[in-house]
Amino acid sequence: MKKALALLLALVMVLSMAACGTSKTEETKAAAPAPAETQAATPAETEAPAAEEGKVFNIYAWNEEFKGFFEKYYTVPEGITVNWIINPSDGGVYQDKLDEALLNQENAPADEKIDMFLAEADYILKYTDSEFTQDIQALGVTDFSNTYEYTVQAASDSNGVVKGVSFQCCPSALIYRRSIAKDVLGTDDPAEVQAKLDSWDKFNAVAADAKAKGYYMTASESETFRVFSDNGTSALVDDSGKLTLNDSIKAWQAQAKDFSDKGYTLTTGIWDDECTAQMFKDGKTMCYFGPAWYFNFSMGNAQDPEKGCPGDWAICQGPQAHFWGGTWLLAATGSDNPTMLADIMDTFINDEEVCENLIKNESQFTNNQAVNAKFAADPNYGNAFLGGQNDVAVFVDLAKNIKFENKTIYDQLLCEGLQTYWREYCDGEVTEEEAMANYYKYINEKYPEIVTP
């Protein structure tokens, strides 16, 4: 009897906890900052405009890269809590969750409205060209004199209204292992290496030499994908909604299969452990491709002097100039913190101290041409990870080539899927027809509106 009662009681308690779980946490959440705020407000009651803004600043992101920079270099106004909503980018989860929240933005309580969200080059169009983002020039971000043209273009809608900024510029380079380059090419000097790898024909020929000496040219057959895809002459999906793989992509497909068959590369994903393990001391891979963010983000573990070989790397342009990725900060329509929103964006493109710190401490290539130029010209600056090479100078040159074109809102998943399903063909597990059929099925599942062959 007692036990049954206790059980029932526990049930009622837990249930009521759960029932209130939603409403109560919100209430307490909403109520919690209040005391702190009233305390803060009493001495400085005059600050009326700040009080009009929301107390919670919500940021949607897919990883912690920007969060780290934000927390280090941005001073959040007093009384405002920054709330990060992070969902994995893999498989489009981030986009799904973000879309859901944006569609619900109107009905959400002020403190739950998205204020700012992050987006990648692969799908930024979906958001800039929609009513879910707002004009940041109206909010007071007007100085784009130092930013790279393409970053502004990417963040603008079809009428040229700017909806956000990027805190980085992402020209991508060939990142090579100095010691292996010496062995294979006889030199590790960036200019000389560049001369020996400045076309795909040379690149493919060197791959054979590398193989002969027991090295891999790349650690993934998809390593060169972005170089090819960024140099394509048409978008993955044309205006009529048809999937079209341009010649550049087809060239990558041929190279991927060729490299896999001949053992010039490992067949594995560019984010897989096997690929990143090659960056360590006992790795046998000569080339990676990536922008400045690649050093921290993808090669982070290789920076550990015990496991990796910092200093044994260098960069040059490689077979084709290209850019890859980049994170934009977009202003969400309906934000209740417009002042802070504008302030953040302005800080990350125009605050010289912040931009300098991003280069010095975080190995970034910033979206501030003046700061970049300063580092590029500084004879004392060098990136220790790259053996003292001035990477900013290389990137300044490469940045001139960036064109933001032939993008669609579908690129992230279309690229992810193509690499995944083509890899099975490279592995020899399926025929070419099967690989493509599987890829088309995948597209039909993700984007029913795209017409596949």
Within positions 29 to 48, which residues make up the interface with other proteins, using CB under 8 A? 29
What are the residues whose beta carbons fall under 8 Å from the beta carbon of 228, sequence distance 6 or more? 248, 249, 251, 252, 255, 320
Site string for other proteins, 187-226 (x = CB under 8 A): ----------------------------------------
Residue 89 or 134 having the CB closest to other proteins:
89
Task: Enumerate residues 80-109 that contact other proteins by CB under 8 A.
Answer: 83-97, 99-103
Q: Is 186 left (phi over 0), alpha (psi -120 to 50) or beta?
A: left
How many binding residues for other proteins (CB under 8 A)? Answer: 86
422 binds other proteins (CB under 8 A): no
**Shortest Cβ 24–other proteins spacing (Å):** 11
CA 350 and chain centroid, separation: 21
User: Considering only CA atoms, which of 416, 265, 395, 256 is closest in space to residue 323?
Assistant: 395
Sign of CA dihedral 38, 44, 48, 49: negative
Q: Shortest Cβ distance from residue 302 to other proteins (Å)?
A: 9
In terms of CB distance, is 204 or 296 closer to other proteins?
296
Q: Which is nearer to other proteins, 22 or 233 (CB)?
A: 22
Q: Which amino acid appears at position 437 of this protein?
A: A
State yes or no: residue 19 binds other proteins (CB under 8 A).
yes
Chain centroid to CA 275? 18
Q: How far is the CB of 441 from other proteins (least distance, A)?
A: 7
The footprint of other proteins on residues 110-139 (CB under 8 A) is 126-127, 130, 132
Contact 412, 95 (CB under 8 A): yes
Handedness of CA 355, 168, 71, 276 (dihedral sign): negative
**Per CB under 8 A, 1 contacts other proteins:** yes
In the block, tokens 């027991």 appear at 214
Chain positions 248 to 267 lying near other proteins, rule: CB under 8 A, are 266-267
Q: Which residues pair with 329 in a beta bridge?
A: 118, 165
Among 143, 261, 272, 352, binds other proteins (CB under 8 A): 272
Please report, as residue ranges, which positions from 292 to 351 form the binding site for other proteins (by CB under 8 A). 296-298, 300-301, 304, 306-307
